[in-house]
Structure 1
Amino acid sequence: MRRIILSTESGSDLPGDLAEKHDVQVVPMHVIMGGQDYLDGSLPVEDIYEHYERTKKIPSTTSTNSHEYEDFFKKIKADFPDCIIVHIGYTSKASSSFQNAVNAAEGFEDLYLIDALNVTGGLAAIVMYAVDLLEKEPAIEPARLIEKIETVIPKSRLAFIPGSLEFLRAGGRVSNAAYLGGALLKIKPCIELVEGNLVSTKKYRGKMSVVAEKLMQDYLNKYDIDKEQLYLQYSIGLDESIKRRIDVLAKEAGFENVKWMQAGAMISTHAGPGGFGIAGLEV
């Protein structure tokens, strides 16, 4: 029986302990800061925020390129001889990373690519669904595994609130007028993935402690999420009291396993400090 190896990008924010435990291979995306190119995972998130405080400029991000994918897939084949690779990629609607993987894959056999149409926890939820399938059915045919993964892609629901409008403005993601109005009224946008695109679907007003709880309630009312697993994302700076309150709400809602995931450098560059998100799979 040939082994199936799963892979994904660092933009999934898949916790290192889960990746290591299940042999999920993670290829880094890039953060460009101060004229230098850093692999996501090699740069402490705190350095991004400190850089912004000093310069009022945020880093930019770039995708994994085709040559890096080629080396990545070669290493997997070397580490797991005769394996079959199933790569579950960052949404093609927000990055060229998936297309670069497609280009690199032309030189490989037994390599399958899936566009997850999601990011961070929404992508991680799909990867962990695939992990669970493989553990339950280790002899599953690759075509059947891919079919099942593709079936849950439209059911992966991610909603998050960036931690700072100021941070978004510095990156050119909101206008000065929108920033000033939002800051004055303490408005925070909710970002969701809609057919693979990052879309602002709602605006909340108030402190993050109030907004995070409201987002949690709205999310659970809107989506019928599988109670077996819930993924909660945060960027450094989110108050611990908020996390404790969200844990209580998740338990009251009947979730059996709740996994907190810290946003890596790539996602944090877009979310800013103190962001909060929720992801899970609809039943």
Structure 2
Amino acid sequence: MKRIILSTESGADLPKDLVEKHQIQVVPMHVIMDGKDYLDGELSVEEVFDYHSRTKKIPSTTATNVHEYQELFTKIRIDFPDSIIIHIGYTSKASASFQSALIASEGFEDLFFIDALNVTGGLAAIVMYAATLLEEEPSISHVHLIEKIESVVPKTRLAFLPGSLDFLRAGGRVSNVAYIGGLLLKIKPCIELIEGKLVSTRKYRGSMSVVAEKLLRDYLDQYDIDRRQLYLIYSIGLDESIKKRMDDIAKETGFENVTWMQAGAMISTHAGPGGFGIAGMEH
């Protein structure tokens, strides 16, 4: 029986211990600072924020390219001969990465693609769902596994609060008018993935400690999230007391497992320092 190998992008922000445990193959996306190209995962988040502090500029990001996917799929074939590759990709609605992967697939057999229509913790939740299924049912066929993964894509919910409107504005997520209004009124927009697109769905007012709790409670009221697993995402700078409070609420509301994930350099260029997010799957 052929072994099934999962692959994804660095924009999933998967913790290294989970990547190693499940032998998930991760290909880097890119961060551009002063015209120089850095690989996400090799560039620290601190360097991104230091760059902004020094220059008042926000780095830009670019997708994984066709050549990098060809190298990834070739390496998997060498490391895991006679394997079946299932690539669970960063939403095609917000990056050219998924299209690059499709183009790179020419000439490869037993290579399948799933557009996760999600990013960061939402993408990670789908990849980990697949990895857990493989662990629990090692003899599952790739056809059945793909069907199961595709069935949870529309049930996966991600919501996050950026730590800085500067970073969102630079990424074109908020207008100058909304930016100025947000600064004056201490308003933080909630960003969600709607049909694969990043959309500002509602606004919160107050300090991050207040609005993070509001977001988590609203999220759990709005979505019937499976209590077996919750993913909480933070960018460097989020206060430890907020993280503890989020843990307490998750425990109070019946979650069996809570996994914290740090936003990597690529995602942090959009979220800024001190951001907070939630990802889970509906029943």
| Paired AA for residue 48 in structure 1 | V
Q: Which residue does the alignment assign to 2:275?
A: 275
Q: Which residue does the alignment assign to 2:67?
A: 67
Instruction: Report the alpha carbon displacement of residue 167 of structure 1 after superposing the two structures with TM.
Output: 2.5
CA distance in 1, matches of 2:194, 2:110: 30
CA distance in 2, matches of 1:142, 1:100: 23
Q: Which residue does the alignment assign to 1:99?
A: 99
**TM-score, with length taken from structure 1:** 0.98
Aligned residues of 1:57 and 1:171 also touching (Cα < 8 A): no
Question: What does 1:1-283 correspond to in 2, within 5 Å?
Answer: 1-283=1-283
| Paired AA for residue 282 in structure 2 | E
Aligned residues of 1:31 and 1:265 also touching (Cα < 8 A): yes
Instruction: Report the alpha carbon displacement of residue 166 of structure 1 after superposing the two structures with TM.
Output: 2.4
Instruction: Report the alpha carbon displacement of residue 135 of structure 1 after superposing the two structures with TM.
Output: 1.1
| Paired AA for residue 219 in structure 1 | Y
Give per-residue Cα distances to partners, 1:227-248, cap 9 Å, x unaligned. 1100000000000000000000
Secondary structure of 2:179's partner?
Answer: helix
Give per-residue Cα distances to partners, 1:35-84, cap 9 Å, x unaligned. 11000011110111111111111100000000110001000111111111
CA distance in 2, matches of 1:190, 1:43: 27
| Paired AA for residue 258 in structure 1 | V
Secondary structure of 1:19's partner?
Answer: helix
CA distance in 1, matches of 2:259, 2:143: 29
In structure 2, the gaps of 5 or more residues are none
Give per-residue Cα distances to partners, 1:75-130, cap 9 Å, x unaligned. 01111111110000000000000000000011100000100000000000000110
**TM-score, with length taken from structure 2:** 0.98
Give per-residue Cα distances to partners, 1:151-187, cap 9 Å, x unaligned. 0000000000110112323444333322111111000
| Paired AA for residue 160 in structure 1 | F
CA distance in 2, matches of 1:280, 1:74: 32
| Paired AA for residue 66 in structure 1 | V
CA distance in 2, matches of 1:174, 1:149: 32
In structure 1, the gaps of 5 or more residues are none
Q: How many percent of aligned residue pairs carry the same amino acid?
A: 76
Secondary structure of 2:114's partner?
Answer: strand
Alpha-carbon distance change, 100 to 239 in structure 1, aligned in 2, over 3 angstroms: same
- How many residues matched? 283
Give per-residue Cα distances to partners, 1:22-45, cap 9 Å, x unaligned. 001100000001211000011110
Instruction: Report the alpha carbon displacement of residue 139 of structure 1 after superposing the two structures with TM.
Output: 1.1
CA distance in 1, matches of 2:151, 2:182: 38
Secondary structure of 2:190's partner?
Answer: strand
Alpha-carbon distance change, 155 to 172 in structure 1, aligned in 2, over 3 angstroms: closer
CA distance in 1, matches of 2:180, 2:146: 46
